[in-house]
Structure 1
């Protein structure tokens, strides 16, 4: 996994997802985000780190459109503007984040092994709080 920092887009996989969003027609971008979140929520077996990374990036994009959400300003995020995302993605994003930080999760293991689990989890927790508040 090519990861250089704990930000939600600070990996090759997340940056590639941003590129996929930029390449997609504007009316298909919300569907790509939904697919990324759904793929993780539906996983009961070992969660692959690439799927988890994409779900976290997708959740960050949903959270950016919520009251109190931080805009995605990193150079590794999408360059193209996203349409207004469906409100129901907020709850789905919360579920996806909950799954990412619940074992068995390769991404959770990688951050734990690297000694940066707490700062990474804090970032996930901030995202989750914004999404949960907005989801009602």
Structure 2
């Protein structure tokens, strides 16, 4: 797992998502990330897809003014959020919540990886905090 912390952007896949986000001025890439995860119901959810959906949910939370941890890995997204004034609607927020819930359900590679690391409690707490910030 290319993660160095339980925070949403502290992994390779989320950093890649941040870079991809810079090429957009809307929420299409964010919604695509949610759709991939939502459509995996019943199938094995790959870790990169789950990590991208978590990063996408962070984008929504930030667009709503519900900022999470800010660090060197969030700078790209934080800058994008400040420049692109997009208001998430209820439909995309509901997709974000579905994607978050799906990431925390088996079969989920990302959940498996965090369980194997022995640090799943910190990660699950961070994901649940994100869920609360998306709901506000």
TM-score, normalisation: structure 1: 0.86
State the alpha-carbon separation in 2 of the partners of residues 41 and 60 from structure 1.
Answer: 17
Are the aligned partners of 2:64 and 2:88 in contact in 1 as well (CA < 8 Å)? no
Are the aligned partners of 1:15 and 1:76 in contact in 2 as well (CA < 8 Å)? yes
CA-based RMSD: 1.6
Aligned residues: 129
5+ residue gaps, structure 2, are none
TM-score, normalisation: structure 2: 0.86
1:1-136 mapped onto 2 (5 Å cutoff): 1-22=1-22, 24-26=23-25, 29-44=26-41, 45-66=43-64, 69-71=66-68, 73-77=70-74, 78-79=76-77, 80-82=79-81, 83=84, 84-87=86-89, 88-132=91-135, 134=136
State the alpha-carbon separation in 2 of the partners of residues 58 and 38 from structure 1.
Answer: 11
Deviant stretches of 4+, over 6 Å: none
5+ residue gaps, structure 1, are none
